[in-house]
Structure 1
Amino acid sequence: MANPVYRRLFAAQVIALVGTGVTTVALGLLAYDLAGPNAGAVLGVALALKMVAYVGLSPVIAAHAHRVDRRSLLVGLDLARAGVLFLLPVVTQVWQVFVLILVVNACAAGFTPAFQATIPEVLPDEGDYTRALSFSRVAYDVGEILAPAIAAAMLLLVDFDALFALNGVTFLLSALLIAGLALPKATRDVSDRSWRRITLGARRFWTLPRLRGLLALNFAAAAASATVIVNTVTLVREDFERSSTAVAVALAAAGIGSVITAAAVPRLLHRVSDRAAMLTGGLVLAAGLSLVGLVPTYGALLLLWVVLGAGLALVQTPAGRLIQRSGDRDDLPPLFAAQFALSHACWLVTYPVAGALGAVVGIGPVALGLGLSCAVSVALASRLWTR
């Protein structure tokens, strides 16, 4: 935090994360306002469009990012997201929601990898960068915990339409924080062929052992996080007959486990390798998922969710270090874009498996199946990513 450029980038990240979480709550209310009982279907399509934007557009935007000044790109994408959010309160048709959601998530698909690629350039020392990864993971988890609470508090004062406008302001603040920074400039010749840039990240993930291992571990993390995100409400409300507040507490338990572990990762990586830490996290996830169907009480579920959150932090926090070591500074945007797209492609598989299949055959058997697939992913990562 002594680095003023990183300090402002981190502040911009935190503001945008909280705003994005608040928008998720407001989007659900808007869907209900427009579609009533069909709100679930509307939200399902909106989230599918989000994943399509993340998986399909992120590598394309990153391939052309080197043609644009990094600061201008980040500020422009923040301003575009703010503009979309200011429009959402005035939409009257479901299709308009779909168009705007696609646009705002296309902006996110460009912003997030470019932002992630900027941090190792601002903090070239690996120790500093490792601590920055820890901060980012903590910020993400705390944002996931606090955003619904902030949205609930704001709804006591304003209508849900106002949440979109207020979130638009958060992106304006993020743009303002970034606009005054002097960020490193790309050095690569703009004559690079676009197709090679678009596929650079995917090709590097295919050829480098550490990135092949990371890809397998991405699936393990997606299996665990999908189980927590999709099935917590059913487990708490149906199996344990608890209130909506208890659902929020259970989700917070996973976040707390992740926050505590992410904060400890920089010290841990002084003692063990990235490979050992991440494979251990994957084994924790596999073991935890296999126990979901055996949880006897709500308290035991909270403990298990803390463990799964810890496993997720062990797998995901060091990932940026692997990417940083896998290319020069001009390769970082497409590499981070590939990680962004491929990890979300894993969620695109595990979300419907955890949700739809869980509703048909039961959450316990599906969690066990995901746990087995998680174990296979860890074994595959161990084989692909040698010592």
Structure 2
Amino acid sequence: MISVLRNTSYAKLFSAQVIALVGTGLLTVALGLLAFDIAGGDAGIVVATALTIKMVAYVAVSPLMVAITARVPRKTLLIAADLTRAAVAVSLPFVTDAWQIYILIFLLQSASATFTPTFQAVIPEVLPDERDYTRALSLSRLAYDLESLISPVLAAVLLSVISYNNLFIGTVIGFIGSAILVIATRFPTLRPSEPAPFLRRLTRGARVFLATRELRSLLAMNMVVAASTAMVIVNTVVLVQGELARPQSDVALLLAAYGAGSMVIALALPRILDHLPDRRVMLSGAAALPLGLAATSALTAGPAGDATWPLLLATWLLLGAATSLILTPSARLLRRASDEGNRPAVFAAQFSLSHACFMITYPLAGIIGATWGIGAAAATLAVIGAAAAAGAGMAWRSRAHASSGRR
């Protein structure tokens, strides 16, 4: 898998991704502390509002920016997005009111909603061979999982010697470093998009999704992933400390089990996909996630026993692994369904549509969990995930099955 880094252009872009991810991780920690400084006991409301703004920016801005910047060279667009993010990050330590945080977060996440799908759409051009591209996807997934583990630890170490405001400097360094590496990267020659009416450019990615059975299936699998991820992100701390009355360190341990499952699959997937089709791998993940959520509901239905904690660790490991089975190969589907002209729009559509699912599942996980309990939240999300998984399977039937159905 590491052999793909011999491609110097990809090695620089991957390094840019890693540096920016670490900077974003430091920003997440610093933002929570800044919110507490400004709002005190209402910091949770400030952070929740900021996260909602982030999702709105991801859903609304990504396809819009692709349509607006269709004729802008991708290298220029990536550099501009990184510099915008750096400018926002350097401004955050100086805010004094919550509304200023909201504006800056919208600007930062709008820049991220421009950068991420554009970056993802460039990688298939840099690595045209599918085997190399698959290994790059696994490395990218590994980077995301490692960042979620390393950034909080790095932030904790830095906070022992500096104030939280200085964490924003690390974020600025991350985004500027990413921009420098993008500048140093030699991009393949890419044709600018053909002129088209704005509305046609805006809907280009969505139209490709609707016309392609694999991508219609991916739409449903996005909901499966959102259901399980919402359970993990929203309710892990409630489950560990509220339901099981375990120490705070076990929250990190349970999240680490989820990340470990994802990393194991990310490392193994290049070889798996050399022998198995994407359809079988991804639909297996889609089937496993509702089962993991149902197991969570069952484990929290009654009093906790001696076996509850190890079984929860195993369940979170399963959820992480199954999520990686879907997310890691998903970009291969986007690559095959697109061409050089519409690829940014297709990746932007996936970025937008997948985050739209989180806007549904995050509130459900929190509201149902707080009102009727963690078991009810897990059961509800399991039902949603199972329905979406069934839809994914029906949308992406094997060619043999589809042919027999027409006879």
Same fold per superposition (TM over 0.5) = yes
Report the secondary structure of 1:291's partner residue: helix
Letter in 1 for 2:363: P
Give 1:336's aligned residue.
Answer: 347
1:301 maps to 312
* Alignment check: 8 A CA contact 1:78 1:171 kept: yes
Q: 1:363 aligns with which of 360, 365, 374?
A: 374
1:346 aligns with 2:350: no
For residues 194 and 124 of structure 2, the distance between their equivalents in structure 1, rounded to whole angstroms, comes to 22
The normalised TM-score by structure 2 is: 0.93
Shift of 1:179: 0.6
- The one-letter amino acid of 2:15's match is A
2:278–2:329 Cα contact (<8 Å) kept: yes
**Mapping 1:62-211, distance limit 5 Å:** 62-211=66-215
**CA drift at 1:189:** 4.7
Correspondence list, 1:215-294, <5 A = 215-294=219-298
Equivalent position amino acid for 1:240 in 2: L
Residue 25 in structure 1 maps to residue 29 in structure 2: yes
**1:386 maps to which residue?**
397
Q: 1:315 aligns with which of 316, 326, 332?
A: 326
Matching of residue 37 in structure 1 with residue 32 in structure 2? no
CA shift at 1:64, angstroms? 3.0
SS at match of 1:329: coil
The alpha-carbon deviation at position 186 of structure 1 amounts to 3.2
CA distance in 2, matches of 1:280, 1:81: 37
Instruction: Report the identity percentage.
Output: 47
Tell me the CA shift for residue 190 of structure 1: 4.9
Which amino acid letter does the alignment assign opposite residue 136 of structure 1?
S
- Helix, strand or coil for the counterpart of 1:68? coil
Q: Following the alignment from structure 1 to structure 2, what is the Cα–Cα distance between the partners of residues 144 and 4?
A: 26
Residue-by-residue CA offset, 1:34-87 (whole Å, 9 max, x unaligned): 001111111111111100100000001112333111111111110110011001
Q: Match for 2:8: what amino acid?
A: P
What is aligned with 2:385?
374
User: Match for residue 403 of structure 2?
Assistant: none
| Residue number in structure 2 paired with 1:12 | 16
Please say if residues 254 and 307 of structure 1, whose CA atoms lie closer than 8 Å, have aligned partners that are also in contact: yes
Gaps of 5+ in 2: 399-407
- Which one-letter code corresponds to 1:317 in the other structure? T
Which deviates the most, 90-99 or 364-373?
364-373
> How far did 1:188 drift?
3.8
Q: Take 1:196 and 1:265, find their aligned partners in 2: how far apart are those partners?
A: 36
Contact 2:19/2:174 (8 A) holds in 1: yes
How many Å apart are 1:370 and its aligned residue?
A: 1.0
The aligned counterpart of 2:56 is 52
Secondary structure in 2 matching 1:158: coil
**Residue type of the alignment partner of 1:346:** C
What letter corresponds to residue 112 of structure 2 in structure 1?
A
- Asked whether the 8 Å contact 1:66–1:186 carries over to 2, the reply is no
Verify the 8 A CA contact 2:224 2:384 in the aligned structure 1. yes
Letter in 2 for 1:379: A
Q: Residues 226 and 354 of structure 1 are in contact (CA less than 8 Å); yes or no, is this contact kept in structure 2?
A: yes
Q: Hey, what's the Cα distance between the residues in 2 that align with 1:201 and 1:289? A: 31
1:3-58 superposed Cα distances (whole Å, 9 cap, x missing partner): 00000100000111111111111111111100011111111111111001000000
Give, as a single letter, the amino acid of the residue that structure 2 aligns with 1:53.
Answer: A
Q: Which runs of 4+ in 1 moved over 4 A?
A: none
Deviation at 1:287, TM superposition (A): 0.5
Deviation at 1:372, TM superposition (A): 1.7
Equivalent pair of 1:66/1:330 in contact (CA under 8 Å): no
On the 8 A contact 1:65/1:333 being kept in 2, the answer is: no
Contact 2:63 2:352 in 1 (8 A): yes
